[in-house]
A and B are shown apart, each in its own frame.
Chain A
Amino acid sequence: MTQLFALDRQALFQRLKTSEKGLDPEQVARRLVEFGANELATAAKKNYLLAYLGQYGNFFAILLEAAALLSFAADYYDPGQGTILGYAILGAVIINATFTFWQEYRADKAMEELLKLMPTKVSLRRNGKVVATTAHEIVPGDIMLLEEGDKVAADGILIEATSLYLNLSSLTGESAPVARNLLPGETQRALDAKNMIFAGTTVLSGSGVAVASATGNATEFGKIASLTKNVRKAITPMQREIVHITRILTVIALLMGGSFFALGLFSGKGIMLASTFAIALIVANVPEGLLPTIALSLSLASQRMARHNALIKNLDSVETLGSVTVICTDKTGTLTRNEMTLTHLWLAGGEQVAISGKGYQEPGDFSLDRPNDTSEDRLAAVLMAGLLNCRAKIDGEGLHGDPTELALVAAARKKGISPPAMKKVQEFIFTSERKMMSSVYQDGDATRLFAKGAVEALLPRCTSCLAEDNSVQPFTDAAREATLAQAKEFESQALRVLVIARNDKASEEGLTLLGLAAIMDLPRQGVSEAVATCKAAGIRTMMITGDNPRTAAAIAGQIGMLHDRVITGPELETMGDEQLEEILAKETVLFARMASSQKLRIATALQSLDEVVAMTGDGVNDAPALKKADIGIAMGLSGSEVAKEAADMVLLDDNFSSIVIAIEEGRTVYFNIKKFVTYILSHNAPELVPYILQFFLKIPLPLSVIQIISIDLGSDMLPGLALGSERPEKNIMNQPPVSRKGKILDREVFLRGYFFLGLIEATAAMAAFLFFLLLHGWQYGTVVLADPLLHRQAMTMTLLGVISCQMFNAWTMRSWEFSAFSLGFFSNRLMLWAMAVNLAWAWALLNVAAVQRVFNTAHVPLTDLWILLLFPILLFAGHELYKWLRCHGKSRSTAQPDRA
């Protein structure tokens, strides 16, 4: 029994059927089909056939199917037009199901494409050559080349290692660097073998070469990832809302349909007529376009968000984003650049140097507070010492190495300093115990050592310093005190302080102090503005960081993240849940020195306070908190695969500002759906009223069922979809979050759609119908017209009355609060297309014989169409006035009943 990690080099190659040169392309291609791509297989594959069939099982579809059955039954008892009507309704069901499915399918495919945006680049040795490829393409037997900063993409056994330290926190939760070498040690467990590397971990320092032994789900990381799969996903607010809308409208449809069926039978209208009424009322009440519009709206929002580097994994989460009340965010890389910048230097002679230019690439200037003749030389000496004692490098291919070292390299570049032609002969590596590192160079016959490290580690080793006149002087107690005082001052500004020293022999004792380097991870561009936007939007932002409280508070201050108090991880440990909830209810807290596992507790406490929590995370230990949060947000660049798997959203740029943009989109989706629901409710009244009037009054039938279907699935479909793609309103981030308890179909939507706009449209439709008949000699009481053409022309007027009103309605509905004129005529191209198509449709209803046959319409002379002009304008003006009053009226707060 020989574990892979216990084999010698040759046996290992033999066992994995590879060699020093690596695999050849043909072997790689074959192994890819044998072992699969190096990726974590996630959720079960969606069965699209089942998904399509499922479209026929939702409430609305069942209602329509019942209506179709009813018409077939009516036709059976009283042969007439029931069969055609039945087929028409079934056609509507099929069109609706297909359209909804197509939207969801496209959204899924778009999502799959977007998820492909997250590959990790790796270096491999294949066929004797170094190749750069994506992590997905690694197969067992590949030779992986590891450098500082690399993310390990597969499990492997080291065959070469130079001062290799890994961060195994993504597997073990322990963030301390772990040394790796070529000897496995006394163990039988792969996880304990010191010559093994694991997928999902990061190379902190050093370099190595390893043979890939397992990929994808077979890695240790893959096993952990599968542990998160058994978590049950709760129903999202959007799903709940769809169920709510569906139920309400179903009840209305059934009640109306049932009542009129019964009334029809009891009043002796016969089963055919009673059924026609019932069917018409059911069909009129079912919002056929609801589901495809919601799917489209969510899909478009997710695509817009992806353009802003926020990748939504679950479409329903888009809407949840609109309800977010608290964002719990990491600091490093999310609020800050994760690029250490050398902002200040202190020279051992006593001068302080301020350095401008953020990050690694920006140019910058050096300004000394009291320069003298030797200042520049000593400044150069400090920067040179820092540069020579680094493994990091910045070149055309990018950045390589530890962030702190990159800051020193970047500062040297700003000053135009490049390394001299000296040979590095030795390196004393950095460890968490030593807290320092040094490099030894051979400069001709001379030997030079350059050191850097923490104040407490390096300062005691200094016996001399580079004085103001550039001479080496003894490091007196006074000088030591001054140095310590300066270090403390830097630390009080949340700067990380490094001591820079050198020696003329290869020893880390008896060093000459050159100066202090003060480094900071500066806030990202745009984060301050994003934090301010959150504040205006009523969203609390809370920083949760593993860093010390001083640094956390300093960064929070710089970006305007207000907080009432700072709680550290150890303090949190001593707090009970009730105490934590009490604090979170009253205060905005900054959490410092926190372990990943404590995030879950914070998320739980906030949720018990009814907050909607967005939580960021990157490590494997963050996964439970990401699952628990209402919106789990993983970091795309620095995040582990497990965190990405557990999250609802992935930030491709790790940037806090992207979260805020995503929230804006979430709110937009909510309001777009609200607009759309109002819009479709508006056409329900003009579809229902003609039947109700015809039932009670002695008038001909103003609108046929097929014409109702033509409105629901024809003329209203595209404007509805266009409303779903409307851009965010200008004040959307100046309002409180959408309440979790708020409903899309609330009182205002119902009244605005069904009664206010709906009744205007119903009046328009009936006015068009009756005026036309009266103009052509009809007298009240004549139910069956002698001239069928006249009846069809009148019905055409009713239909065009609804279509024209809905076209104007769609324009005015584009904004929930603001005037349609303020939006820009061309700002929603889909709406323009929708209008063009509707005009063409109206023309076809009037002029195309085939269309007229199917939809019971007829040509109406232009001289009669004037009746249609008045009501759409009235509706438009009425709704614009309503919005104006809503915005400027006294009861502004009550005009937004859905808001918290």
Chain B
Amino acid sequence: MKVVAAMNGLVSSDVAALYALRYAALFDHTLCLLHVLNPTDRREEVEMSMAEAEEAAFHYGVKTERVFLTGEPADAIEKYLAATRTDTLFCSTRIRKKKRFFQNSLSEKLSRLSLPANLAVLRVAHVNAVFVTENILLPIREDRLSARKFAFFSAMAKAFGAATEIYSIHPADRRRIDAMDTHTARMLFQKINSRLGHYANTMKLLDIPLTIKHALTSSEVDQILHHLARHNFQLMIIGGRRLAKFPGFFRENPMERLFWHTPVNTIAFYAREKR
């Protein structure tokens, strides 16, 4: 199996490769450093970045390989993934036109495709955080946590030896929040805890510290940002959403907002399509 890191010579793609490396090291996968050649390429820098990633991989005892593709990036990557057995593709994202981190990006294009591998899109806030990841946050809506997302989350935690937190958010309007008494809130949270119980047990078996916290809020994104500001996390993993054809047409996409505002490195995770 391979873990692929899409590289383009930017600092953030170097950081994405380091996350991919830690993930590959956990499962003893091969780290594939991939670059799609294009006319405005800075190939020297890409190769320098690859050399640095290889050096780091050597330190972790991970096998690496370099792959250079040509053509339209999304198509080339899709074809490559289809031809190889890949666990996860890591790539970073940057600001696009109109101050967007995700929309109209290669990452977004990849997220729309039915890739035969998981996709982890990284937004880098701190270059160094990949070296000092001690706490990882996974915000979810109520108890909505897929097994694949949980697997990735726990794998990243195991790879970094980090403590984890699942932050369960209950969207509700202000009036409902104001009207809710402590007992009702406690009952609601207990119900969520019991539904997430098997995940908690799994974490216990994997020896990964896990905390489950809850919040009632009328604004999910603000609540997550508020939580990040109050606590010391180095990485946040969010469930990637495949955007509509005209995302942001009616309202701002929450993922876009999180990517734009996040004070910590954030991975949007897209589980591979079922075949």
Which residues in A have some Cβ–Cβ distance to B below 8 Å? 1-4, 15-17, 30-36, 41, 44-45, 47, 49-50, 140-141, 213-214, 217-219, 222-224, 226-227, 229-230, 232
Interface residue? B147 (CB, 8 A): no
CB–CB A2/B251 < 8 A: no
CB distance from A170 to the nearest CB of B (A): 15
Interchain nearest-CB distance for B214 vs A (Å): 16
Neighbouring A residues of B251 by C-beta, 8 Å: 47, 50
| Nearest CB in chain A to that of B93: its residue | A34
Contact A33 B127 (CB under 8 A): no
Shortest Cβ distance from residue A56 to the other chain B in the assembled complex, whole angstroms: 15
Q: Which of B29-37, B193-201, B222-230 binds A?
A: B222-230
Instruction: A32 to B12: give the CA distance in the assembly, Å.
Output: 11
| Residues of A contacting B11 in the complex (Cβ-Cβ under 8 angstroms) | 17, 31, 34, 140-141
- Residues of chain B within 8 A of A217, CB atoms compared: 125, 261-263
B81 at the interface (CB under 8 A from A): no
CA distance A229 to B250 in the complex (A): 22
Q: Of B82-90, B110-118, B128-136, which stretch is located at the interface?
A: B128-136
- CB pair A226 B261 closer than 8 Å: yes
Complex Cα spacing A148 to B268, Å: 42
4 A-B pairs besides A15-B127, A17-B14 with CB distance below 8 A are A33-B94, A34-B92, A226-B228, A232-B174
B261 / chain A contacts, CB cutoff of 8 Å: 41, 217, 226
Complex CA distance for A232 and B174, rounded to whole angstroms:
10
Query: Is the beta-carbon distance between B260 and A229 smaller than 8 angstroms?
Result: no
CB of B69 within 8 A of chain A? Answer: no
Question: Contact: A226 with B263, CB < 8 Å?
Answer: yes
B126 interfacial contact with A, CB 8 Å: yes
A142 CB to closest chain B CB (Å) equals 12
| A219 to B229 CA separation, bound complex (whole angstroms) | 10
Across the two chains, which residue of chain B brings its CB closest to A215?
Answer: B125
Residues of A close to B250: CB separation below 8 A: 47, 49-50
**Which chain B residue shows the least CB distance to A223?**
B229
- Determine if B68 is an interface residue (Cβ-Cβ < 8 Å): no
- Interface residue B10 (Cβ < 8 Å from any Cβ of A): yes
Residues of chain A contacted by B174 (CB below 8 angstroms): 232
Sorted from nearest, which 3 A-B pairs have the closest CB atoms?
A218-B125, A223-B229, A4-B128
B226 touches A30 (CB 8 A): no
A interface footprint on B201-244 (CB within 8 Å = 1, 0 otherwise): 00000000000000000010111011011100000000000000
Chain B proximity of A854: nearest CB distance (Å)? 35
Cβ contact of B132, chosen from A2, A44, A227, cutoff 8 A: A2
List 6 A-B residue pairs with CB atoms under 8 Å apart, sorted by A's residue number.
A1-B131, A1-B134, A4-B132, A41-B261, A47-B251, A217-B261
Given contacts A50-B250, A217-B262, contact A226 B229 (CB under 8 A): yes
Q: CA separation between A141 and B125, bound complex, in Å? A: 13
Kindly list chain A residues whose C-beta atoms are within 8 Å of the C-beta of B260: 36, 41
B248 in the interface (beta carbon within 8 A): yes
Considering the chains assembled together, what is the distance between the CA atoms of A285 and B165 in angstroms? 58
Indicate if the CB atoms of B127 and A224 lie closer than 8 Å.
Answer: no
Complex Cα gap A44–B221 (Å): 10
Distance of B232 from chain A, by nearest CB (Å) = 8
Chain A residues whose CB sits within 8 angstroms of the CB of B229 once the complex forms: 223-224, 226-227
**Which residue on chain B has the smallest CB distance to residue A42?**
B261
User: Is the interface on chain B under 10, 10 to 19, 20 to 34, or 35 or more residues?
Assistant: 35 or more
Counted as pairs of residues, one from A and one from B, with CB atoms less than 8 Å apart, the total is 92
Give, as a whole number of angstroms, the nearest-CB distance from A37 to chain B: 9
| Residues of chain A with a CB closer than 8 A to B128's CB | 3-4, 15-16, 213
**Contact for B222 among A33, A47, A223, A230, CB less than 8 A:** A230
State whether the Cβ of B95 lies closer than 8 Å to any Cβ in chain A: yes
B263 A34 Cβ-Cβ under 8 A:
no
- Complex CA gap A34/B261 in Å reads 13
Which chain A residues lie closer than 8 Å to B222 at the CB level? 226, 229-230
Docked Cα-Cα span, A32 to B101, in Å, equals 12
Cα A213 to Cα B229 with chains together (Å): 17
Q: Which of A30, A140, A218, A232 contacts B263 (CB 8 A)?
A: A218
Shortest CB distance B251–A (Å): 6
A34 with B225: in contact, given A16-B127, A47-B248 (CB under 8 Å)? no
Interface membership of chain B positions 38-75, coded 1 if the CB is closer than 8 angstroms to chain A and 0 otherwise: 00000000000000000000000000000000000000
Q: Are A227 and B95 interface neighbours, CB within 8 A?
A: no
| Candidate in B11, B124, B174, B219 with the most chain A CB atoms within 10 angstroms | B11
B148 within 8 A of A: no
Set of chain B residues within 8 Å of A35, measured between Cβ atoms: 12, 124-125
Residue of B nearest to A41 (CB): B261
Is B252 an interface position by the 8 A CB rule?
Answer: yes
**In the complex, what residue of chain B is closest to A222 when comparing beta carbons?**
B263
Give Cα A229–Cα B219 distance, bound, in whole angstroms. Answer: 10
Give the shortest distance, in Å, between B28 (CB) and chain A (any CB).
22
Q: What are the residues of chain A within 8 A of B257 when measuring CB–CB?
A: 44-45
Min C-beta distance of B206 to chain A, whole Å: 20
Query: Are B127 and A223 neighbours in the complex by a CB distance under 8 Å?
Result: no
A326 to B221, CA, bound (A): 36
A72 to chain B, nearest CB (A): 28
Q: Determine how close the nearest CB of chain A comes to the CB of B191; give it in whole angstroms.
A: 25
Question: CB distance B126 to A218 under 8 Å?
Answer: yes
A30/B10 in contact, CB under 8 A? yes
- Find chain A residues with CB under 8 A from B221 CB: 44
> Nearest CB to that of B260 among chain A residues?
A41
Residues A214 and B225 in contact, CB atoms below 8 Å apart? no
Query: Which of these, A2, A34, A50, contacts B10 with CB under 8 Å?
Result: A34
State in angstroms the CA–CA spacing of A16 and B127 once bound together: 7
A230 touches B134 (CB 8 A): no
Closest Cβ of chain A to B257, distance in Å, is 6
Task: Determine whether the beta carbon of B94 is less than 8 Å from that of A2.
Answer: no
* Bound Cα distance from A1 to B264, whole angstroms: 17
- How far, in whole Å, are A584 and B128 apart by their CA atoms in the complex? 52
A214 close to B126 (CB less than 8 A): yes
In the complex, what residues of A have CB within 8 A of residue B101's CB? Answer: 36
A229 and B228 CA atoms in complex are apart in Å by 13
In the bound complex, what is the Cα–Cα distance between A3 and B251 (angstroms)? Answer: 39
Looking across the interface, which residue of chain A has its beta carbon closest to that of B100? A45
User: How many Å lie between the Cα of A223 and that of B131 in the bound state?
Assistant: 21
Find B131's partner among A2, A17, A34, A140 (CB 8 Å cutoff): A2
Contact present for B94 and A229 (CB under 8 Å): no
Q: Are A34 and B12 in contact (CB under 8 A)?
A: yes
Report A144 CB to chain B, min CB distance, Å: 16
| CB proximity of A425 to chain B, nearest CB, Å | 40
A32 to B250, CA, bound (A): 28
Task: Name the residue on B nearest A31 (C-beta).
Answer: B11
Cα(A17)–Cα(B12), bound, Å: 11
Cβ A229 vs Cβ B226 within 8 A: yes
For B251-269 the 0/1 string (1 means CB < 8 A from A) is 1100001001111100000
For B262, the chain A residues whose CB sits under 8 A away are 217-218
Residues of B within 8 A of A230 (CB): 219, 222-223, 226
